[in-house]
Amino acid sequence: MQAHQLKPSPGARHAKRRVGRGNAGGTGTYSGKGLKGQKARAGNKPRRFFEGGQTRMMKRLPHRRGFTNPFRVEYQPINLTDLRKFEAGTEVTPELLKERRILRSLRQPVKVLGTGEIDRPLTVTAPRFSASAKTKIEAAGGTVVETAPRVIKDPATSKKKYGKKKKQQEATVEAPPAKEDAPAAEAAGDEPAADDTAAEEVEE
C-alpha cells in the first residue's frame, strides 16, 4: 500500500453544506438563519448569557459573600439548667451526658454555657466553658475541668505588634553619650593665669 492509496473510512468526511444556492438544496433563500433579526446578521452575535435584555440568570442568583472557615469547630451547647438534673458531688462528663440523653452524639465537642443557675457542687469535665458558667459552677462549690482550653495568642509576639515595634526601634536614634567635663584642676594647670604672663613681660 502506498501513501496515495490511503483514504478515510466511509462516512468520516462529509461534503461542505452550500447555503444560499436555491431552495432545492434545503438551505436556500434565508440560508438557515430565519427571517431577519439580530441572529440573522453577519458578524453580529449576542454575547454569551445574553437573554434579550432581561436580567440574566447570573445576576438573578444570590451572590456568595464571605467565605467558609474550614477550621471552624461546632460545639454542642449545654446549659446550667441541664446540670441541675444531677445530684451533688456527681462527676459530669460528656459520656454521662450522652447516657442521660442530654447529648445526641459525642462526635462534636461540648461547651457549657451559663444560662440558668446551679445550687449544688459538681465536677464538670468538658472541652470548653463560658466565663459565666465557670464562675457559677465554682461559686456553688463545684470544680471545672476544661480539657481543651482556648489558646490566646500573645500580642507581643504577633506579626502586627512585632512589625510596629521594629519600626519604632528603627525610627528611634540613640543620642551620643555626653562628654565628661574636664576637672577644674586640669583646666587651671593647662592654661597659665593672665597676671603671671604680664609679670614675666615686665621683668624682661
118 within 8 A of 138, measured Cβ to Cβ: no
Q: Residue 64 has which C-alpha cell?
A: 456568595
Rounded CA-CA distance 18/12 in Å is: 19
Q: Where are the alpha helices (DSSP H) in 140-183?
A: 159-171
pLDDT in tens, 38-69: 888 888 788 888 898 999 998 888 877 788 89
Domain chopping of the chain, boundaries = 76-146
Look up the pTM and report it.
0.47
CB count in 10 Å sphere of residue 21 = 12
What stretch of H or E contains 78? strand 76-78
Hey, what CATH class is 76-146 in?
Answer: alpha beta
pLDDT in tens, 163-178: 555 556 666 555 555 5
